Chains A and B, each alone.
Chain A
Amino acid sequence: QVQLQESGPGLVKPSETLSLTCTVSGGSISNYYWTWIRQPPGKKLEWIGNIYYSGSTNYNPSLKSRVTISVDTSKNQSSLKLDSVTAADTAVYYCARGAGWLPESWGQGTLVTVSS
């Protein structure tokens, strides 16, 4: 059964870049969509965007100017970069996998706090 694990710094300073990695075990990164989702404290889940293993990306317009999602098939990883973060970017960040745009298998999530 595929397992996804998010990793990265739990604390990021304002104006810096948030960088997270999703490592996949028990399955291939190929032939799937890889999605990033976040949930700020007390707010709704928010779709950040997705990437097909071949590299085609789709982003939420609300974040598009600041976000980059990538895949590294050699490492079986997907990565998320979010530029110029503010306190509003404090959230639990999830990665997920799906055969299509539907996120089917999720990681447990990782909390990222933006604070000086």
Chain B
Amino acid sequence: EIVLTQSPGTLSLSPGDRVTLSCRASQSVRSNYLAWYQRKPGQAPRILIYGASSRAAGIPDRLSGSGSGTDFTLTISRLEPEDSAVYYCQQYGSSPLTFGGGTKVEIK
């Protein structure tokens, strides 16, 4: 199975900062079928990005995904207080589907 490794584990940033989250796969993700999710306490996880770079419905354009093969990135161009959450990457190109360990983003 494909192992996804996310880094860093935790980030503490200020509103307005630019943040880059990394997701590295142990082998190439078929067709770049890589998604990013946001999870806040007590809420359902929300899909942000699919296909490595396509934004899901209703996701603001200050969030963007990039990458291919084994290296993927989620970028938030201008951090807002509402972005405080844990972010997960997931590959859905190969069975079993697998997830990264998550990056926690804290707002100062």
Contacts and interface: CB of A to CB of B under 8 A. Distances in A.
A103 B33 CA distance: 12
Interface string A75-105: 0000000000000000000100000111111
A102 B100 contact: no
Interface residues of B, number: 22
Nearest to A4: B44
Contact of B92 (A60, A101, A106, A107): A101
Contact of B101 (A44, A60, A105, A109): A44
Q: Which residue among B43, B44, B100 has the maximum number of chain A CB atoms within 10 Å of its CB?
A: B44
A60 B96 contact: yes
Nearest to B95: A58
B47 A104 contact: yes
A109 B44 contact: yes
B100 A44 contact: yes
B72 interface: no
B28 interface: no
B96 A47 contact: yes
Given A45-B88, A102-B33, A102-B50, A108 B42 contact: yes
A94 B100 CA distance: 16
Contacts of A47: 96-99
A61 interface: yes
Interface string B31-68: 00101010000111111001000001000000000000
B97 A108 contact: no
Nearest to A101: B92
Interface of A: 4, 44-47, 58, 60-62, 94, 100-109
Which 9 A/B pairs are nearest by Cβ-Cβ distance?
A45-B99, A47-B97, A60-B96, A106-B44, A106-B45, A108-B44, A102-B92, A101-B92, A47-B96
